[in-house]
Amino acid sequence: MASPASSGDRVFLMMICETLFAQRMSELLDELSVPGYTRFGGVSGVGETGRHEGTAIWPGSNTIIFVALPDPDLADEIMRRAERIIADEYQKRPGFAVFKMHGTQIA
């Protein structure tokens, strides 16, 4: 892996996934010794896999996971492994979208 960037530079991942898949993503982050992340559960929305509103008509919910990483290579490794998990463990692709952003931690 590349050396970490300066102390405030970060790569941010915002992962939006079906709640059942979010548990598997948390396990992956723990396996990779990611020092911390934030999860928001019970999120509703509409996307490529349909509508998830947590109701009888539109069942299911989503989870958003935010991760701030000092090493951009770790962000790439998370994505590689997530895609491998989906290919190896799921017959139907779960709802999963990831957005990668760069920024500076200021506090």
Spell out the domain ranges in the chain.
Answer: 9-104
Residue 6's pLDDT is what?
54
Three-class SS state of 11: strand
Tell me the per-residue pLDDT of 79-93, one tens digit each, with 9 for 90 and over: 999 999 999 999 999
Domain 9-104: CATH class, spelled out: alpha beta
CA distance 20 to 23: 6
Tell me the per-residue pLDDT of 13-64, one tens digit each, with 9 for 90 and over: 999 999 999 999 999 999 999 999 999 998 887 777 777 777 778 878 899 9
Residue type for 52, please?
H
Q: What is the pTM of this model?
A: 0.84
Residue 50's pLDDT is what?
75
Residue type for 101, please?
M
